[in-house]
Amino acid sequence: MRILITGGAGFIGSHVADAFIAGGHDVAIVDDLSSGSGANVHGGTRWYRLDVRDAGLDAVLSEERPEIICHHAAQVSVRRSVEAPQADADVNVLGSLNVFEAARRHGVRRLVFASTGGAIYGEQTGAAADETHPCRPRSPYAVAKLAVEHYLDYYCATFGLQGVVLRYANVYGPRQDPHGEAGVVAIFMQRVLAGLAPTIYGDGEQVRDFVYVDDVVAANLAALDAATPEGEAAIFNIGTGRATSVNALWRVIERIARPTTDAYHEPARSGDVRRSVLDAARAARQLGWRPKVDVEAGLARTWTWFLEHADRKAAEAA
């Protein structure tokens, strides 16, 4: 299939691109490197360095004629969305609408949208949130993601687009940028490598559902030909269902990385929820998707990558 990935130079999007190419698909990437890296771009893709808000996106679709768009491009920081909600909406809402409009004009058959289960439900009322849980977003980032889900549903109902929404839990793994994308795992590991003390916000007993990037990639592969209801977008949680506190996460990293300093605590941040754990039973039933990598194994793999990455940087600097 001919697939266009927005955000294909980013942490998750680049892994997805690699897997699509390995599966024999014809892949093009749109990415302006606002949070991605050119080093992540697979040599087997065609790369357009372009902001998804740019009118030039129309020419890209005219040239590429994709059957499927996998939309990962976004302003990815919850913290920045709190500080600058208008800028967040400009990228995440208006940028997405530009993608959807271009998809409509050029006859794209299916659009897979990378949404957030880690933020969209707000404070959860049960042990794990399924897709019917009320959405009570508590950050501009999550508000924008929910708005885009509704826009995608509109395009499915009005223009016959096939839509798949993947609500990711807290994704981590190799290539995650501790500066650009602000994932807690990447931040902790980068601090350890630098001999600095990681920061835990609040008491550290807030819990998250940490899902390894390879499992997220598998969900994207499954979404390419998943059955979708006529006239609406199909929504799937992509998480492990396992609750891990930030303190427990740090203890695992301590065992793996053996840091020279301990973490310290600062006050809780605005926009952070206390509990975020996803029930992915629908994805298991309808996509045949289940997570395969547990937190301990995923953190070990991620630490190995960070070590190798640090060694490579040191060698390049020598």
Query: Which residue's structure tokens are 């790369």?
Result: 47
The active-site residue out of 141, 155, 168, 212 is 141
The answer to whether residue 168 is catalytic is no
Sign of CA dihedral 128, 132, 138, 143: positive
CB 74 within 8 A of CB 92: yes
* Bridge-based pairing state of the strands 2-6 and 46-48: unpaired
Q: Which residues are catalytic?
A: 141
